Amino acid sequence: MIQVLSNCVIPLMVLFVVGYGIYKKVDIYDVFVDGSKESFGMILSLFPCLLGMILGINIFVQSGLLTTIIDWIKPFFNFLNLPSEIVPMAILRPISGSSTLALLNNVLMNYGPDSFIGRLASIIQGSTDTTFYIITLYFGSIGIKKIKHALWAGLFADLIGIIASVVVMNIFF
């Protein structure tokens, strides 16, 4: 029953929008085409921001700086008796969501979803966000240039999310 409902949600939403447009006597196709035309301008304004972010992430990862940071932080994690396998995930999560999903997949394949490290990695994935992506995409799309305070607040929230993940894991598991 849930699977059938899940498969019908988006088609029902589209049908509702079309039905509402017909009810309000709106030329649905022309409105759709006008909206599509407007989206090209937005895509063109976002592209340089995304390109810059992707370039910066690739330079960061390919330069070896990430490996150096991970090697520097691992002893601290070992001192806290935390698995060092989550260090790359904790560092990359604010930068790239797709790379941390790949790391999460790796952890789950190697250790299993019900292991301590599998649960910890899953909680970190769910309790942190891609701060740099959000700031680049959303702030860049509306032209905000002064991002210092938002960046620090986002990174602090990511740090709190990682700490809370560890605390939750130690309390409940």
> What's the pLDDT tens digit per position in 21-50?
999 999 989 998 988 888 888 788 778 877
Sequence-ordered list of residues with C-beta below 8 angstroms from that of 70, at least 6 positions apart, any chain: 87, 88, 91
Q: Report how far residue 159's alpha carbon sits from residue 164's, in angstroms, rounded to the nearest whole number.
A: 8
> What's the pLDDT tens digit per position in 119-151?
999 999 999 999 988 888 888 778 888 889 999
Whether pLDDT at 51 is above 90:
no
> What's the pLDDT tens digit per position in 58-76?
888 789 888 888 888 888 8
